[in-house]
A = this chain, B = another copy of it.
Amino acid sequence: MEIGIIGAGSLGLLFASYLSRVFKVTLYTRTEEQAMEIEKNGIILKKNTNRAQALVCALPLSKWEGTEDLIIITVKSYHLEEIIKNINRLSITPKNLLFLQNGMGHLKHLETLTGTQIFVGSVEHGAYRENAFTVSHNGEGVTNVAVFRGDTYVLTALIEAGPSEFPILMNDDFYKMLVNKLIVNSVINPLTAILGVKNGELIKNEYYFKNVVHLFNEISILLNIENPDFHLKKIIDICHKTAENRSSMLKDIEANRKTEVEAILGFLSEKANEEFKKVPLIESFYLLLKGKELGKGGLI
């Protein structure tokens, strides 16, 4: 099976380095420079004290023809519109697309793609891009995948032939799979990013924890979650297990980068608007984060 991977950030590099062990992988980069660097150095995968080099074919996205059996799109959700334009400019319709964006803001874009099988995934790995061709795999996890439109054939092939050290799990219900991650992300990410605290602080600090519960309750009602206790417990568990970590949104805010707030709280806020529901906390944290992005983390 030939696999194309679009986007060479931390996830793109991680997937390319693991999947190239068993599949023929081509990695598509934003810039020509990065493709050249990867062609020259391979991808260096660091895990604990180990280093592995993966030799993969790398090309700038402009050279993508969409012919691979499976295309995995790893770019951030806010770059997805640009990728969709790239898909639409192809002379052929790609056969199978797997989208790995956080949040659920991207689903409305996927509905516009016709004639192709579409899968979505939710990645639970921790990965950090050290430079154009080096990725550190600092949190071992799984990749959950599910069919958004089409059949399971290619996903099953990916799961069965994929390297055992990089597990990919099939989910029956894409919505449930994405919602599960969205709930966690929409509580931990915004609160840690606005407060400037590590994940563990949200459960250690009794006041922050009350805020966790209030925000969670709003999300839970909006999404009609069936078993809220289970989800709240999952948030607490994750804060506990990742107590010393900075959330991705906090890191983005600290580095004056764009955050994934649109795909997470923006999606929830839009959903609430469509359903005429009031979500004052979702709305407020959404605005605070949009403001932080605009103000580059404040003027101090």
Interface size bucket, A side? 20 to 34
Smallest beta-carbon distance A254→chain B, Å: 8
When all copies of this chain in the complex are counted, the total is 2
Contacts of A196 in B (CB 8 A): 196, 298, 300
Q: Which residues of A in the span 15-58 have a Cβ within 8 Å of any Cβ on B? A: none
User: Does B207 contact A299, Cβ atoms closer than 8 Å?
Assistant: no
Cβ contacts A to B, 21 pairs, < 8 Å: A195-B288, A195-B298, A196-B298, A196-B300, A197-B295, A205-B291, A205-B295, A206-B294, A207-B287, A207-B291, A207-B294, A208-B287, A210-B287, A211-B284, A211-B287, A211-B288, A214-B284, A214-B287, A246-B300, A280-B281, A284-B284
20 further A-B pairs in the complex, CB-CB below 8 A; given A195-B292, A197-B300, A208-B291: A194-B194, A194-B288, A195-B288, A195-B298, A196-B298, A198-B300, A201-B295, A205-B294, A206-B291, A206-B294, A207-B287, A207-B290, A208-B287, A211-B287, A215-B284, A246-B300, A280-B280, A280-B281, A281-B281, A284-B284
Q: A residues engaging B (CB < 8 A)?
A: 194-198, 201, 205-208, 210-211, 214-215, 218, 246, 280-281, 283-284, 287-288, 290-292, 294-295, 298-300
